Amino acid sequence: MTTLPHSIIDGEGRLPQARTRRRRGQETGGGGSGSTPQPTAMPAPLAPVARVEPKLTKPAKPTKAQRTRVDAALLSELLSDEIDFMDHPDFHKAGAEQRIYTKAPIVPRPTVTWYRPMMDDIGTTSPRRHDGVVLTAAQERVIFMQFNYARYRMNRIQKTLRGRAPGAEQAKELLRWSRTATAYREQIAETNLALVLAMAKRVRLGEGEYADLIGEGNMALMRSVDKFDCGRGFKFSTYACRSILKAFSRHGIKVSKHKQRFPVEFDPALEHGDGVASIRAASERQDAAEVRDIVESNRADLTEIEREVVMHRFAFQGLDQGRTPTLAQVGNLIGLTKERVRQIQNQALAKIRMTLEGACAGDRSGNGHRSPVVAIN
């Protein structure tokens, strides 16, 4: 059978329809225009055209230049230091991967929507309820076995390389196990975020240091995930709480030493700023005072609910606190939904902006002095 060139065969191995019709016309048609029409016979079926399959060649192994920058950076980081893990006898048995991942029970994933440690607490909202997942000892053992087995496989690949550059398959396998270990590490940390908050309430040092305390606790929690040995039979919370408290103790010692060395707190007012910054700060204070005067005197013809929303939203009633409540907090105060508060706020700001623009236009036409432009976000 003659093999047809690829140029006349479509993607599904068929001949173009136009050429097929011309061929059938040539077989069934007669002579010229003066010839006597002959009885039309059924055309013989065409012989099936052999489909020509392109020869598939194995793709070349990707070089280091062809890998993505993210993967290359991750590979370089993984190969720079020895990958540590908590060993277990089950890792060295046959079929360990299937037993640890496939046959193991599913551990529920946590939700972290409740976690807002830095939210301003102005007494307008009730404390968020902890909706996280509390794992049993058996579930903790399952997820820690999965996490450490992934790092064990990474360590084994690293030892196989012996300092050499990984091949394509080795790099792919190393990245796969790295992403698996990272996913389980994040899941364990998110499940136990409440431990950091619970320990921070015991040793809270001050308003300004609470964020630093939470950061130190989160770092201690991540280190606890890496160092916890589930084979000893203890709960992870027991180990993590002690590690978090030690981190808080080290942080307290560091803060006390810093205060002994620098007993006076930094005061930006003592710093001599440049003239432009001073003029801008004075202009902002003047503009804020003008907006507050417009709201209090109601020169923008605001309704009662609009004045109340603006006064609460921009903290005109508690400006010395330096805090602005959120839309949801304002809604809780006046009994409206968050979206309705947003709509009322936008209507009120539009009226205030029109009043400011009218005042600026009057100043320009009156004495040629241009009032500062106030930007309301």
3-state secondary structure 279-296: HHHHHHHHHHHHHHHHHH
Cα–Cα dist 344/349, whole Å: 9
Q: Which two tokens stand for residue 302?
A: 């605001």
Half-sphere exposure of 259 (CA within 13 A, CB side): 8
247/308 same-domain check: no
Q: Which of 26-40, 53-67, 87-101, 271-285 has the lowest mean pLDDT?
A: 26-40
Cα–Cα dist 141/261, whole Å: 46
Question: Which of the 8 DSSP states describes residue 377?
Answer: -
* Residues in contact with 212: Cβ distance below 8 Å, sequence separation at least 6, in sequence order: 251, 255
249/316 same-domain check: no
- Quick check: 119 pLDDT over 60? no
How far CA 18 is from CA of 22, 75, 171, in Å, comes to 6, 55, 51
46/81 same-domain check: no
* Tens-digit pLDDT profile for residues 213-236: 889 999 999 999 999 999 998 999
How many domains does the structure of the chain reveal? 3
Residue of higher predicted confidence among 272 and 168: 168
219/338 same-domain check: no
213/161 same-domain check: yes
Task: Specify the pTM.
Answer: 0.53
* CA-angle at 265, arms to 262 and 268, nearest 5°: 125
Q: Is residue 129 assigned to a domain?
A: yes
With b meaning 16 or more CB within 10 Å and e meaning fewer, what string describes 286-316?
Answer: ebeebbeebbeeeebebeeebbbbbbbbbee
- Quick check: 21 pLDDT over 60? no
Q: Name the 3-class secondary structure at 373.
A: coil
Q: Is residue 270 assigned to a domain?
A: no
Burial (CB < 10 A; 0-12, 13-18, 19+), residue 83, is buried
Q: Is residue 59 assigned to a domain?
A: no
* Tens-digit pLDDT profile for residues 316-337: 664 445 577 888 888 888 888 9
Instruction: Assign 22 a pLDDT band (cuts: 50, 70, 90).
Output: very low
Closest CA to 83 of 198, 206, 177: 177
What CATH number is given to the structural domain containing 341? 1.10.10.10
The pLDDT value recorded for residue 192 is 93
Tell me the one-letter amino acid at 324: T
83/171 same-domain check: yes
The pLDDT value recorded for residue 84 is 92
Question: Which whole number is the average pLDDT over 238-262?
Answer: 89
- Quick check: 92 pLDDT over 70? yes
100/225 same-domain check: yes
Helical segments of the chain, H only: 17-28, 69-80, 96-97, 137-161, 168-191, 193-202, 210-227, 236-261, 275-297, 304-313, 327-334, 338-367
98/191 same-domain check: yes
The pLDDT value recorded for residue 362 is 63
154/129 same-domain check: yes
Question: Which whole number is the average pLDDT over 194-217?
Answer: 81
The pLDDT value recorded for residue 89 is 93
Q: Is residue 373 assigned to a domain?
A: no
Q: Is residue 372 assigned to a domain?
A: no
The pLDDT value recorded for residue 162 is 85
336/221 same-domain check: no
- Quick check: 19 pLDDT over 70? no
The pLDDT value recorded for residue 368 is 45
Q: Is residue 247 assigned to a domain?
A: yes
46/195 same-domain check: no
Q: Which two tokens stand for residue 116?
A: 């807002």
Q: Is residue 207 assigned to a domain?
A: yes
Q: Which domain holds residue 111?
A: 69-261
- Quick check: 62 pLDDT over 60? no
Which residue among 261, 277, 302 closes a domain?
A: 261
What CATH number is given to the structural domain containing 254? 1.20.120
Q: Which two tokens stand for residue 323?
A: 């805090």
How far CA 136 is from CA of 25, 107, 131, 191, 326, in Å, comes to 79, 10, 16, 12, 37
153/253 same-domain check: yes
Mean pLDDT, the chain, integer? 76
Q: Which of 22-26, 193-197, 360-364 has the lowest mean pLDDT?
A: 22-26
- Quick check: 85 pLDDT over 90? yes
Q: Is residue 278 assigned to a domain?
A: no
Question: Which whole number is the average pLDDT over 304-308?
Answer: 89
Contact 98, 122 (CB under 8 A): no
